[in-house]
Amino acid sequence: MASIEYFGYALFALLALLALAAMAAPFHRRKKVSFVLGAVILAAITLTASYLFASGSSFYLLNIFRIYPFSMLFVGVFSILLLLVMALSYDAPGSFDSFFMLFGFAALGIVMVPMASSLIGLLLSLELASIPTVFMIAINGKKFIESSVKLLIMSGIAISILVFGMALAFPYDAQLSLVQIGSASGPIEGSYLALLALVLFIGGLSIEAALFPFNLWVPDVYEGAPANMSAMLSGINKKVALVAMMEISFAMFAVYSSTYVTIFMVLSIFTMFFGNLAAMVQKSVKRLLAYSSISQAGYILVGFAAASQYGLEASIFQMITHSFMIIGAFAVIMFLENQGIKTIDEYRGMSSRNRYLSIALSLLLLSMAGVPPLMGFDGKFLLFTSAIKSDLLALAFIAILNSFLSIYYYGKVIIAMYQPKKEERIVAPKAIIAVISIALFVIIIFGMYPQPIISIAAKAASALLGI
């Protein structure tokens, strides 16, 4: 056994520790202990994953985990993002102990999705990620029940469809492993059953990934859930579904790429237009961000549609970018929501209330709109270039048109914040400031110097495509 595999087992042990810490939380009921334990374990996971990523090794662990650069990148990124969400939730209303128990299991699921080596593992991890999320929304009070039930029903539909898809894929590969099914059991070109399975997978995952028309629940749930959970749903859970979609389409069904490229293209166009157009007429900033996050999923799909090394590289880059942007933005929203500031009208004169928050939110929104030198610009630039390289000129044009449309509603919020109106000052808690500052730091520094992120994204993309 190579020594690098020990790190794989260490990762495994850390995941087990996380689960243990989560289970212990409701018993000892010490907020601080849970938080520190969670933070240390997540940080350790990040470090281990980055070491494994840097080593570039690729192997199976106990036949259920696949350790390779693609999975390790997302394990690392998701752990950092989970850390941010945990910091946000620390001071949120509601019991942190029960939150932490659910959070630990959700984190376990989230981290395991990119590592799963078979469809079964993938499905179980997805479930593990989504079911605790439902309850994490619900534990905060009665007014959150509606959105958590909506999420539960939609996840239920998603999982049933995914299982159906799995059943259809079974004849092609009894192991249900995530390697290319074409190579596993002879040529399957033209087999409609496999294609149907693919469609069901994409449809099922589209629910969590918020692609039109599977995403109508998104605005209700994001708006109805507490803002830290909205941050988690759009910053992490959505990316988890996109990662699963990437693995299934580009690793398992790679031989059908010419077919599903069209699906991704259509979904991308629909999602971008739906998100951007509906966001234009929103009054609540949180709902506006929900629609904006829908449209961002559409941009990410542009890279899927390009279906090349560059395209996936760009998609991965934009997934990381968007996670940081949206978690930072929801951190601002969360604080303001607790102050009773919700609609764009109420945002007027924000700059006189708290200068740092309004600068931060403006920068985050500008980054989402794709203004240089922020990271959102680099992501979009990569995506559109990759689309043009793959001869999808029309798609690139539509995506650029959509970025143009998005300026309208992002600008509306920024303008409102800087309208001269004297309001009394408000002071944000340190945890929220810290999360916002980290998000800002990332989008500014890697916006100006994107090469480190581009190269890790490229490494992950080529690992996924097996190049």
Partner 1 sequence: MLPLFVIAPLLFGGFISLFMRGRSHIAGWTAFAFSIASLILAAYEVLYSFGKAYSITWFAISGLVVHISMSIYTLNAILLMLVALVTPLIMLYSIGYMDVPSERPRFFFEISIFAASMMLFAISANFITMFIAWELLGITSYLLIGFWYHKERVPYAARKSITTILIGDMAMLSAMVLIWNAFHTFNFYSIMASPYINAMQIPLLLILAAVFTKSAQFPFHEWLADAMEGPTPVSAFLHSSTMVKAGVFLVALLLPLFYEAHLLYVILAFGIATAFIGATNAIAERHIKRILAYSTMEDLGIMLVALGLHALLAAMLFFIVQTFYKALLFMSAGSIMKANDNAENIYLIKGSTKNRLLFISTLFGVGSIAGIFPLSGFFGKVAIDSVASNIYVYILLTVIEFASSIYIFRWLFIPMRDPLTKGIDAELTAKYKNIPKTMLYAIAVLALLVAIGGFAYAYLPGLPYAGVFANTYMPLHISLVSGLTETIAVLLGISVTYYIYVKMNLKGMSSHRALHTLLYNSIAVNWVYSIIAAAFYEIGGIVNSFDYALYWFIVMGGDGLVFIAERLRRIVNGQINAYAVAFAAGIILLVIIIAV
Q: What residues make contact with partner 1 under the rule CB under 8 A?
A: 149-150, 153-154, 157, 161, 195-196, 198-200, 202-203, 206-207, 212-214, 216-217, 219-220, 259, 262-263, 266, 274, 277-278, 280-282, 310, 378, 381-382, 385-386, 389, 405, 408, 449-451, 454-455, 458
Residue 452 has a CB neighbour count (10 Å cut-off) of 10
Closer CB to partner 1, residue 144 or residue 310?
Answer: 310
Rounded CA separation 282/295 (Å): 14
Question: In the complex, what is the shortest distance from the CB of residue 233 to partner 1, in angstroms, rounded to a whole number?
Answer: 16
CB distance 334 to 360 below 8 Å:
no
Closer CB to partner 1, residue 177 or residue 367?
367
- Tokens 């542009």 belong to which residue? 302
Judged on CB neighbours under 10 Å (0-12, 13-18, 19+), 59 is middle
In the bound complex, what is the minimum distance in angstroms from residue 349's beta carbon to partner 1?
23
Task: Supply φ then ψ for residue 343, to 5 degrees.
Answer: -90, 165
Please state, in angstroms and rounded to a whole number, the distance separating the CA atoms of residues 127 and 163. 11
The residue written with tokens 């620390």 in the block is 90
In angstroms, give the least distance from the CB of 363 to partner 1: 17
| E strand spans, 23-145 | 59-61, 65-67
In whole angstroms, give the CA distance from residue 100 to residue 27.
12
Closer residue to partner 1 in complex, CB, 70/317:
317
CB of 202 to partner 1, least distance (A): 6
**Residue 140 or residue 386: which is nearer to partner 1 going by CB?**
386
| Residue among 81 and 279 whose Cβ is closer to partner 1 | 279
Cβ proximity to partner 1: between 6 and 404 the closer is: 404
Per DSSP (E only), the strands in 306-439 are none
Query: In whole angstroms, how close is the CB of 388 to partner 1 at the nearest point?
Result: 8
Question: How far apart are CB 287 and partner 1 at their closest, in Å?
Answer: 9
CA angle, residues 72, 74, 221, in degrees to nearest 5:
155
Q: How far is the CB of 253 from partner 1 (least distance, A)?
A: 11
Instruction: Output 11 or 200, the one with its CB closest to partner 1.
Output: 200
| Bond into 26 cis (ω within 30) | no
Comparing CB distances to partner 1, the nearer of 429 and 452 is 452
CA distance 186 to 196: 18
Rounded CA-CA distance 220/278 in Å is 13
Strands 59-61 and 65-67: antiparallel
Whole-angstrom distance, CA of residue 456 vs CA of residue 463: 11
* Contact by Cβ (8 Å): 439, 320: no
| Rounded least distance, CB 407 to partner 1, Å | 11
The terminus-to-terminus CA distance of the chain in angstroms comes to 25
Q: Which residues pair with 177 in a beta bridge?
A: 118
Taking the complex as a whole, how short is the minimal distance between the CB of residue 309 and partner 1, in angstroms? Answer: 9
Token pair of 260 as six digits:
């599903």
Shortest CB 220 distance to partner 1, Å: 6
Whichever of 247 and 378 has its CB closer to partner 1, that residue is: 378
Provide, rounded to whole angstroms, the least separation between the CB of residue 403 and partner 1. 14
Q: Which is nearer to partner 1, 93 or 213 (CB)?
A: 213
Residues 6+ apart with CB under 8 A from 383: 299, 300, 302, 303, 306, 311, 314, 315, 318, 399
CB of 118 to partner 1, least distance (A): 24
Residues in a beta bridge with 65: 61, 116
Q: How many whole angstroms from its chain centre is CA 91? A: 23
**Do 40 and 77 touch, CB atoms closer than 8 A?**
no
Q: What's the token pair of residue 418? A: 């800087």
Determine phi and psi for 306, rounding to 5 degrees: -65, -30
Nearer CB in complex with partner 1: 106/306:
306
Nearer to partner 1, 115 or 211 (CB): 211
